[in-house]
Amino acid sequence: MWNERLRDSWQRGRDFLGVENAILGGAMSWLSERHLVAAISEAGGFGVIACGGMPPDLLREEIRATRKLTSRPFGVNLIVIHPQLAQLVQVVVEEKVTHCVMAGGIPDSATVRSLKENNVKVVLFAPSLTLAKGLVRRGADALIIEGHEAGGHVGPVSTIVLAQEILPQLRDVPVFVAGGLADGEMIAVMMAMGAAGGQLGTRFVCTNECIAHDNFKNAFLKAQAKDAVVTPQFDAALPVIPVRALANKGTQAFCDLQLKLLAEVKGGRMERKDAILELEHFWVGALRRAVLDGDVENGSVMAGQSVGRVQSIQPVATVMEELVTPILEQCGKSFT
């Protein structure tokens, strides 16, 4: 029963993504660019370009550059609150990207419809069963449930709780699990519960193909799970999306900035939306300083709690093999 369920789940994920291995690369700003994305796809997984704050022309360039490195399927992650979302969607359509992962909010019906009418599969994040069902009704072709253990912007509920809440109740579309995953054994457990595969980000940072600065990778290698902490929200008057990163001077600087902006908002000297935008700009800049410049003291070293399981720098293909081998063993020798 276990093997049969796992085989069916694995095959469903493979079929939906059009790849050999139902493993997505988590979209990480500054990191999930052409080299890492192409390497994940070449290894049989599904790479995803992190659009982040890219303008449309830069996204188009990144898609085309990725295609020069791989002929295999890959997707694009778009942030719903991007001010040029409509233009970015048009780029995805024009460049004939097969899958679009949308994060940072719920896309409106027109956006979903525009993608689907142009044969782009829409993948959305679901933080609860109620919302998951609503997203399917809105037109989601697949869902990702990402737990609190993940790196970067996170939701409030752990992966294992989300999996128990959503996987047994939602069979209409493939559901991929993310947050805290680091090895194939855990992915297999999720698939035996009904997941179509897994999404991993932290595990792919310490790979040869990832462009992260050596300081950034070394910080991962030294870290334990407890070092990846979530920044707090001090007051509901200034709602912030929690961010999980390795504790350093950068996380303290964010807390200081949040308190400063909170005082501005409460004093009527700043609009709440402007304060939230400034906080987001802080993270973008801080992440770049850490990822590309190697300033892991003052920059943001976003990492999931699975960082403690990252123990060496390897080729992406080796990481993929380590992830997939236990899954195939559980599926049975005859599965290909």
Lowest mean pLDDT among 3-7, 11-15, 76-80, 183-187: 3-7
3-state secondary structure of 144: strand
Q: Can you give the residue ranges of every domain in the chain?
A: 2-210+311-331, 224-302
Q: What is the predicted pLDDT for the residue at 1? A: 62
For CA atoms 259, 262, 268, 269, the dihedral sign is: positive
DSSP assigned state of 300: -
CA distances from 165 to 19, 145, 149, 177 (A): 27, 10, 16, 12
Residues 6+ apart with CB under 8 A from 230: 148, 154, 242, 243, 244
* Whole-angstrom distance, CA of residue 240 vs CA of residue 242: 6
Inform me whether the pLDDT recorded for 335 exceeds 80: no
Q: What is the pTM of this model?
A: 0.95
Inform me whether the pLDDT recorded for 3 exceeds 90: no
CATH number belonging to domain 2-210+311-331: 3.20.20.70
**In which residue are the tokens 């001077």 written?**
249
| pLDDT (average), residues 92-111 | 96
pLDDT digits (tens, 9 = 90+) for 234-276: 999 999 888 999 999 999 999 999 999 999 999 999 999 899 8
pLDDT digits (tens, 9 = 90+) for 291-314: 999 999 999 999 999 999 999 999
| Cβ–Cβ < 8 Å for 168, 177 | no
